[in-house]
Amino acid sequence: MLSYIVPFIVLILVVVFIHEYGHYYFAKRYGVGVTDFSIGFGKEIFGWNDKSGTRWKICLIPLGGYVKFFGDRNVYSQADHKEILEKYSKEEQKKLFTLKPLYQRALIVFGGPLANFLLALVIFFSIYTFIGKDFTPAVINEVQKDSPAMVGGLKQGDIILEIDGNEVKSIMEVSKFITMSTDKIIDFKVKRSYDEILLKIKPNIVLSEDNLGNQVNKRMVGIKLGAYNNEINHVKLGPAQSLMHAANEVYYVSISSLKYIGAMIAGKADTSQLGGPIRIAKISGQVADVGLLAFISMMAYISISLGLINLFPIPMLDGGHLMFYALEKVLGRPLSQKTQEGFFRIGMFLLISLMFFTTFNDIKDLGLFK
């Protein structure tokens, strides 16, 4: 159990700190007073005050964090401006988040998700620059009898060029593109002799084990891959190429995640694969056992997920506040405190419902009940 908890806490501390620091950075940039910078919720374990009066602290429940601004009842609260003007002096008003221009408030809120995407970008950039990236072409060595691949027309010796429109630059990407596909039919573009052929494959959904030994529903097409000419092409990239490939990976993961979530909402994707803190903790421990590189790579993917989820237009999340600011821009005034509180209650209900659902999946994944 300890082997799961320690990597999980390290993962959460880094990803949440980066997210909250994104808010903090833009808040300080625009002169907003920050009273608290908290990693975790609940009782404070330890902390300190910096020269500007910000309380930096680690709290008991490490499942998130927050940055609290001077004068706010809660993070990003929009109190009545008349009340604010009466309560605070001219000097104090300069530090209030709610009195800042709309674009500054929006940037402060967007800073959290932005920091998460930048963390993932830096991680991928570092891996490709210092460790390298695989560019080994994927060749089909075997097509299993009566498999979806055989039915769809894939043959031994085919070189896989694209999957669902995504260019396959490496043998490592084939499994990723198949797994992330949400359509019933997967488009394969292959090179056969001198021809490029587009084939449609309908995968089987099979309950099997992933590389870490976890039970998952896998999309299987029935092929075994090998390296083209049995040569592995793993190269360290220059800064420009590393940045390009890192940005492409962040973009691909973001778009694929949105497609998957859309498919789940439409009832076309497997919701049993949606996990919460328990599953993340379990996988964190398993990945940490594999090695530091795998753990850091997972950190990048979790960071993208955190940034993406926080941009959803749900009250309580950063995206909910950005939605309020968009309405403020259209209406020419902020929504009333009563209206915002009503939206926050809806957001709280949605988040609690999601928490219960993912926890149910986590517990089922542990085999406590079926």
- Please, what is the Cα angle at 201 between 226 and 224, to 5 degrees? 20
CA–CA distance, 93 with 71 (Å, rounded to integer)? 9
Q: How many residues does the chain have?
A: 370
Catalytic, 20? Answer: yes
DSSP 201-244: E--EEEEEE-TTS-EEEEEE--EEEEEGGG---EEPPPHHHHHH
CA–CA distance, 319 with 341 (Å, rounded to integer)? 16
Please report which helix (H) or strand (E) contains residue 349, including its range: helix 337-365
Residue type at position 270: D
Q: Taking each helix axis from N to C terminus, what angle separates 102-126 and 239-265, rounded to the nearest 10 degrees?
A: 110
Q: Which of 20, 86, 162, 209 is catalytic?
A: 20
Contacts of residue 329, Cβ cutoff 8 Å, sequence gap at least 6: 102
Catalytic residues: 20
